[in-house]
Structure 1
């Protein structure tokens, strides 16, 4: 891949695994410097050693209010600017609503919705002042379809779809592009909550994607001319049926 994002500073939440790690690798390949944001300090240290000098480590626990609030100021202190914010960190709850518990519901909604809103709230003034920037949120096909086997997760992603599309309209006059990528099922730790039979059946029929395929979509979105915004990109395994 040609170096199309040379000189850009990208911050990626949930960067130590899954889509976040694949996005980090793709951004580095495209020429960006990447601030890897994650709560797993050991994983960040190991990955920064592997990925090289264009990685900046940012240990943040998005479920901790003080840590979450400090994230953007700490990134700006380390990197000087943020050109790209990829709000990717998230969690998953599947199954019937009665099979989960209030604490798990709170945790998922706080991470999938509240942390995203707070991260965008924190970075927007910086991007507005600079008159440029890209904010992309990892959403889901569940933000477009009411998937009956994951009511809490789907609710969180519908909320994010609404938030992203309202913020796109608020920020478009400031030179800041806002969009989302909405993958179908991706092979990642998020699927650990799936019933084993369901997961195996999806694997057997080729209805799962690799995180790299979502990262490819993100790079496409970020490398469009500035007069073009990809407001949402739905990326599905070809054999996925909802």
Structure 2
């Protein structure tokens, strides 16, 4: 159980982030929900309708340091502490390198990499002071191998893996745990696809990934889970 622990979840408007919010709430956590669209307020509304009253939504751009820092300040004012950060916000697209624009490259790195860095940087002073905290980043199985037409997306996930590994070594002396969740094919809205279509029937569900995140967050304080890799049974993938 995560009773009275305070968790920030980014990308909480839909998909994995929304599923994470509900499962954390069911474990007793208080929630700060971050989303780039007004959909984050709908997640807040649905949670409160289910009886989870300790929920506060923020419409922010995770790549904007000022917005994220302001959110963290308001979370601390509202709840008094931050125990868990789930870096879930992310975007993706699949194109050949020569078809990828510089603007697309910069935006995917801004959200997927810079957004993680900014969120972590914002919560670290508080977690260090309390000598406690769990930072979980939703990466991808392609942070471990490459795929065609995915140079930009794959590069961001390799960056996240490197950042998280280094961060884990840097902050462990403060009692802060850092881990990554690396899912394969998940039935969400990823890359502007449609959730729930027949061809995704046997893919992972957002709730499956959320369950892995809750497991990592709920581990005993003396235990560090560096990463969890999960795939649907039907997915063929390289084994390193």
Distance 2:155 2:133 in 1: 28
Q: Does 1:29 align with 2:26?
A: yes
Provide structure 2 residue ranges, at least 5 long, that are not aligned to the other structure.
Answer: none
Answer with 182-191 or 28-37: which moved more. 182-191
User: What's 2:168 paired with?
Assistant: 168
User: What's 1:222 paired with?
Assistant: 217
Please, which of 8, 13, 23 is the counterpart of residue 11 of structure 1?
A: 8
CA gap 1:237/1:154 in 2 versus in 1, 3 angstroms: same
Please, which of 36, 41, 46 is the counterpart of residue 42 of structure 2?
A: 46
Q: Does 1:76 align with 2:76?
A: yes
Corresponding residue SS for 1:62? coil
Instruction: Please give the root-mean-square deviation of Cα atoms over the aligned residues, in Å.
Output: 1.9
TM-score normalised by L of structure 2: 0.91
CA gap 1:33/1:71 in 2 versus in 1, 3 angstroms: same
User: What's 2:188 paired with?
Assistant: 188
Corresponding residue SS for 2:233? coil
Give 1:14 shift. 0.5
CA gap 1:60/1:177 in 2 versus in 1, 3 angstroms: same
User: What's 1:57 paired with?
Assistant: 57
Give 1:190 shift. 1.3
Distance 1:65 1:241 in 2: 38
Corresponding residue SS for 1:237? coil
Deviation >4 Å, runs of 4+:
199-202
Give 1:100 shift. 2.3
Give 1:77 shift. 2.3
Distance 2:168 2:79 in 1: 25
CA gap 1:5/1:202 in 2 versus in 1, 3 angstroms: same
TM-score normalised by L of structure 1: 0.90
User: What's 1:240 paired with?
Assistant: 235
Give 1:148 shift. 2.0
Give 1:162 shift. 0.5
Give 1:47 shift. 2.4
Give 1:44 shift. 2.6
Corresponding residue SS for 1:228? coil
Give 1:96 shift. 1.0
Provide structure 1 residue ranges, at least 5 long, that are not aligned to the other structure.
Answer: none
Deviations 1:49-78 (A, max 9, x none): 221112111221223343234232232222
In 2, are the aligned partners of 1:63 and 1:107 still within 8 Å (CA)? no
CA gap 1:156/1:72 in 2 versus in 1, 3 angstroms: same
